[in-house]
Amino acid sequence: MIATDHFVFVHLQTCGDGFGKEFLLQLIPEARQLGKHLPRRLTPPSLAHLPALGFVRNPWSYYALWYSLQSTRPRPGTLFQILSERGRLDFEGTVRNLLELGTTGAHLDELLAALPEQFTGMGLNLPRFALEPIRASGLGFFSFLYRHMYDGPGIMHIRRVERLYDELISTLVVLGQPVTARMRDFAQQAARSSDSAARDYTSLYSPGLRDLVAERDASLISRYSYRFGG
């Protein structure tokens, strides 16, 4: 979470959080980090009057990017370790386990036992009590994480990460944040150098897994007009 004089940025994992953090902390002098991957409801009372800003990603892209990032790390996170059965499962098996946390609950008890009791500021920063409500929710993990991070009182501006660079600048204007030429140049340079590989995920999905994401993350897909491959 990053606070400025005009808004609070809530960083949802893999949804522009890295770029957003770099942009805000470098280019807005009063910006300050309050914690890593803290949900909106933990905004300090003194800042609760400020609107919040966040980004969302195509769920199919999210699961592909999450798997890619975790599977190539020397020390993957607890979530990946357990759901991939310590690296023995491939993309299909691992993501299917992730999608089933909110239905069959397979691996959920093992995962909860391995999570910290409180926010630690490390990794996904998802403590045991925060993940427990996914049980029998029917939600895909990304939809659950979206609600965990963004639900709360006040005004929330959520934009699609696929249009991150343009929408960040336009939303800052809406939020009353002065936008400098340096900010615009920073966003334009990032847009030109951004890696499009995160969008090339369709070959990873079997028809069954593709449809399972469509079912588990249906409300998010509908709300933001996402489609497979789009």
DSSP 38-86: --GGGS-GGGTTS-EEEEE--HHHHHHHHHHHHHTSSS--HHHHHHTTT
Task: Report residue 180 CA to chain centroid gap.
Answer: 27
160 and 106 belong to one structural domain? no
The reply to whether 230 falls in a domain is no
The reply to whether 161 falls in a domain is yes
75 and 162 belong to one structural domain? no
Q: pTM for the whole thing?
A: 0.93
Q: Each residue of 10-51: pLDDT tens digit?
A: 999 988 878 888 999 999 999 999 988 899 999 999 999 999
Query: What token pair was written down for 28?
Result: 């807005």
| β-sheet bridge partners, residue 21 | none
Residues belonging to the chain? 230
| Helix, strand, coil shares, percent, the chain, to 5 | 50, 5, 40
96 and 207 belong to one structural domain? yes
Split into its structural domains, the chain has a count of 2
Number of other residues whose CB lies within 10 A of the CB of residue 171: 17
9 and 106 belong to one structural domain? no
26 and 47 belong to one structural domain? yes
Which residue, among 164, 169, 201, has the nearest Cα to 182 in the 3D structure? 169
Tell me the percentage of the chain whose pLDDT exceeds 90: 79
50 and 69 belong to one structural domain? no
Q: Each residue of 127-178: pLDDT tens digit?
A: 999 999 999 999 999 999 999 999 988 899 999 988 888 888 999 999 999 9
